Amino acid sequence: MGKRDVGADLYLRLSVDREGKTAIERQEADCRAWAARHGLLVRQVHVDRGRSGYKSVTRKGFEAARRAVASGVVRTLIVWKLDRLSRKGTAEVGPLLDAFDLIGGRLVSVMDGLDSSRPGDRLAMASLSEWARAEAEIQGERIRHAKRYLRSRGRWIGGQPPYGLRIDAESGRLTPDPETAVYARLIADEALSGRPLVRIARLLNEHEIAAPRGGLWQVGSLSQLLRAPAFAGLLPETETVWDEKRDCRRYTGVVRPYLDPQTGQPVVAGEGIVTLEEQQRIVAELESRTRLRGDGLKRPARGPTHLLTGLLFCAVDGCGTRMSRNGTSYVCQGVRLGHTCPGARAMATSVEGAVAAALLSRHPEMAARWENGDVSQKRALLSEVVERVWVTRATGRGRRFEPEKRLRVVWADEGDEGERTDRCDWLEACQSAHASVLPSSSARVAGSTQGTRNPAWRSSAAGS
């Protein structure tokens, strides 16, 4: 007798895996005892904890056990009871028995006293598998009916309530937790004031206020808490979508308020930490800080953080590239990207002050809004009246910033034609004024083809 004939694998499953449950251990003990009585050595134990035998879910233990027998590694698969193997009826058990028969394998159900290699037992297995499927369907309908009944009365139907809340034992409804409700309200007040979630998390962690599952608070857990319908006293429901591959509905992880089928209105499940209006304000504030990417994922919304980002352009002949903030200066992006432009550069405080002075000189009615606005508001004012700002290169180091020589503001009301004419005149003036320090086009090309900078390029670069 070969090793395959004396070897056997065990398959154990538990639908709901809760702390303190010993069902898996008891299943294994009974299966091992049966194997020992029949002279079989247990090669491997395959386990699926917290996995349904009826729903279309991935069961890695089941697949590994099936492959072990179907591939001929062992010839016997032992289960404690047939409904531990599957609750999908003959649709799943039938093909498995066919695959076992092809290689001379067998399926043994200890508590049912069945062995697929014995005459008549295969028929009994098919019958029991259908009974297990019917039992799962009846149980599912019973659970759904109970949930509908409890929801219609605003009762909590299971699961851990949000931080700061607990379930009243008598009414089955939400009520503030006397130990954590004060901290939950603190979180809500901080969020309503516009404080970033990362700072709220840091505040809680600094004061050693434990998160719901212990450990430190994170931005994600705060966001989930503040968005939870139950945080505002509403009954929650997890959204489901149809899964084409599995041919069933699956949960998406998106939690929304449960709507009463009769009225179409959210169902109140008790007392929350915040009001519905407060939660709507919090969610609107959180949404304003994120943007939806092309792949459907949300990322922090990060607008320009500097006053003139996107408005400054390099006026060096043949460049015209945007300038961006780099440290304390705005720098031609062509230089940062390795282009041949020697690059315009201007101190941020000087150029921002000059542009602001030009704006208020032309539009004095904006003075009050400009003084009281933040960076984003000031950028909005600039975008209303400024098309772009051209910046030429300094003639040498250490010179005082001269806006009238270095800057050219193109106003939005000047029109395209005026912009093109003024820009050409201004560039020509800049080129004439700085001809002695700016390298010629031929010198730049020659320097780039030789792979080294020529003296003119080096001297002009030093002057920047």
pLDDT band at 463 (very low <50, low <70, confident <90, very high): very low
Domain tally for the chain?
3
- Tell me the residue range of the domain where 191 lies: 165-300
Residue 386, in any domain of the structure:
yes
Same domain for 296 and 317?
no
Residue 149, in any domain of the structure:
no
Of 136, 31, 38, 41, residue with least CA distance to 80:
31
Please give the structure tokens belonging to residue 155.
Answer: 């009762």
pLDDT of residue 446: 37
Q: pLDDT digits over 271-329, tens only?
A: 999 999 999 999 998 888 776 655 556 666 555 678 898 889 988 887 888 888 888 88
Same domain for 341 and 451?
yes
pLDDT of residue 430: 36
Name the domain boundary from 300, 320, 339.
Answer: 300
User: Helices in 1-55 by DSSP H: which ranges?
Assistant: 3-6, 23-37
What integer is the mean pLDDT of 349-356?
90
Cα–Cα distances (Å) from 183 to 165, 180, 187, 210, in that order, read: 11, 5, 6, 10
Same domain for 92 and 28?
yes
Name the domain boundary from 273, 300, 327.
Answer: 300
SS (H, E, C) 297-311: CEEECCCCCCCCCCC
pLDDT of residue 22: 72
What integer is the mean pLDDT of 232-243?
84
| 108: CATH | 3.40.50.1390
pLDDT at 23 over 90: no
What integer is the mean pLDDT of 344-360?
89
Name the domain boundary from 265, 300, 335.
Answer: 300
Residue 159, in any domain of the structure:
no
Residue 180, in any domain of the structure:
yes
Q: pLDDT digits over 403-455, tens only?
A: 888 888 989 877 544 444 443 443 344 334 334 333 333 332 333 333 333 33
Same domain for 130 and 174?
no
6-10, 235-239, 443-447: segment of lowest average pLDDT: 443-447
Same domain for 45 and 111?
yes
Please give the structure tokens belonging to residue 69.
Answer: 């027998």
Residue 426, in any domain of the structure:
yes
pLDDT band at 342 (very low <50, low <70, confident <90, very high): confident
Same domain for 78 and 203?
no
Residue 156, in any domain of the structure:
no
Residue 155, in any domain of the structure:
no
81-85, 164-168, 251-255: segment of lowest average pLDDT: 251-255
Q: What is the chain's mean pLDDT, rounded?
A: 81
Same domain for 94 and 197?
no
Q: pLDDT digits over 194-224, tens only?
A: 888 988 998 899 889 999 888 889 888 999 9
Same domain for 316 and 282?
no
pLDDT at 46 over 60: yes
pLDDT of residue 315: 87
| 227: CATH | 3.90.1750.20
* Spatial separation of the C-alpha atoms in residues 59 and 57, rounded to whole Å: 6
Same domain for 94 and 11?
yes
Question: Looking only at Cα atoms, what is the longest distance across the chain?
Answer: 104
Residue 380, in any domain of the structure:
yes
> Would the pTM of this model clear 0.85, i.e. be above it?
no
- Which residue type, as a one-letter code, is found at position 14? L
Same domain for 287 and 336?
no
pLDDT of residue 71: 92
pLDDT of residue 261: 85
Same domain for 317 and 296?
no
Main-chain phi, psi angles of 119, to 5 degrees: -60, 135
pLDDT of residue 428: 44
What integer is the mean pLDDT of 120-147?
90
Residue 345 vs residue 135, higher pLDDT? 135
Beta-strand (E) ranges in 139-272?
165-167, 174-176, 236-243, 248-257
Q: pLDDT digits over 91-108, tens only?
A: 999 999 999 999 999 999
Same domain for 274 and 321?
no
In which residue are the tokens 């009916």 written? 145
